[in-house]
Amino acid sequence: MAKKTIRDLNVTGKTVLVRVDFNVPMKDGEVSDDNRIRQALPTINSLIEKNGKVVLFSHLGRIKEEADKEGKSLKPVAEKLSEHLGRPVKFVPYTRGTELETAIASMQVGDVLMFENTRFEDIDGKKESKNDPELGKYWASLGDVFVNDAFGTAHREHASNVGIARNIDEVAAGLLLEKEIKFIGGAVENPDRPFYAILGGAKVSDKIGVIENLLDKADKVLIGGGMSYTFMKAQGYEIGTSLVENDKLDLAKRLLEKGKDKLVLPVDFKLTKEFAEDAEYRLGRYDDFKPDEMGLDIGDETLKRYQDMLKEAKTVVWNGPVGVFEFEKYAQGTLGILETLASLKDTSTILGGGDSAAAAISLGYEDAITHISTGGGASLEYLEGKSLPGIDAVDDK
């Protein structure tokens, strides 16, 4: 069912509470990667243009005790946001109380305010992350309308998303959350075909539900990364010292049986004797591993095969790199797939957050992909076909 978005709201003169995902990397007290801030700008600017009063809040890191607050204030994030907006962003260093209430009450149309890290409320009983009813009700009382634009926490039932939504009259999706629903949700439920999925990363266990769901939904599921070796060992092949989950071999056999020709495994690899950036490698096929070798990337034949298949696709969803992309020598499989996806003109290309998104951005392909998700865990659960509490809490149109 279609969800209400900020396009459906009249926010003139209203205080709009906006849950953003500004859980950004920090280094020496400064934002080191502002991608998530930039992704939220369309929603924030739209609400400013609609004459709303914009109150922003987010979590940053995990907070279990008082000492964890060190370096986790959102003040540097507010300063970085101010640079992007070209206007002041008032920062209130509290998550509740008179100073926050007074600051919000004194806002004028077009003002932007950010309050402190929502996870600071977790020090005393995990009030935020366990959706304390009183906290959600209190935050809801600070505004007139709630906009959720934080896909990264949509798979969690927190006070700052579901808690507020239960205690306020109008709840809408921001433009970023709308994109996530459209692209990831749309790809799984109603893709243009052929629909191909690429699944990489280290472990089969991280993506059991995703593999099973996509074997039902996709036309082909291409496997890469560390999980390849568990599938290979399940077939009886020697994998040397490659990463493997021995306790998931029976599961891998079941998935291979379910997938049959739909589940596509690499046929060759870059094989090396040590896990190191400068380690020399040789190309070897799936039945040619030596006992002291490990695979760190897909080989040339596999890359060509995957590229040829992807050129036929109308929808591609990708989650997880196909090699150790942090090492230049072993990033070529991931880079080659990115180059192919970037060249496709009439294909919807969707990266499901996490390491595959990081790879696309770090390798310079951010603008060539149709959609790069901002949520790692949330995108995985969405690809599994699960309902996400943060999305369910948004009003239907």
Give the domains, in start order, of the chain with CATH numbers. 6-176 (3.40.50.1260), 183-383 (3.40.50.1260)
pLDDT of residue 302: 98
**pLDDT at residue 356, rounded to an integer:** 78
Helix 354-362 to helix 376-383 angle (10° resolution) is 120
Put simply, whether the predicted model's pTM sits higher than 0.85 gets the answer yes
Catalytic residue set? 36, 203, 354, 377
44 closest CA partner among 161, 227, 174, 139: 174
Q: Render each residue's pLDDT in the chain as its tens digit; 397 residues.
A: 599 999 999 999 999 999 999 999 999 999 998 989 999 999 999 999 999 999 999 999 999 999 999 999 999 999 999 999 999 999 999 999 999 999 999 999 999 999 999 999 999 889 999 999 999 999 999 999 999 999 999 999 999 999 999 999 999 999 999 999 999 999 989 999 999 999 998 899 989 999 999 999 999 999 999 999 999 999 999 999 999 999 999 999 999 999 999 999 999 999 999 999 999 999 999 999 999 999 999 999 999 999 999 999 999 999 999 999 999 999 999 999 999 999 999 999 999 867 778 888 888 888 899 999 988 889 999 999 999 999 999 999 9
State the chain's maximal CA–CA distance in angstroms.
70
- Bridge-based pairing of strands 53-57 and 15-19 is parallel
Q: Token digits for 113?
A: 């305010």
Q: How many residues does the chain have?
A: 397
* CA atoms of 320 and 198, how far apart (whole Å): 8
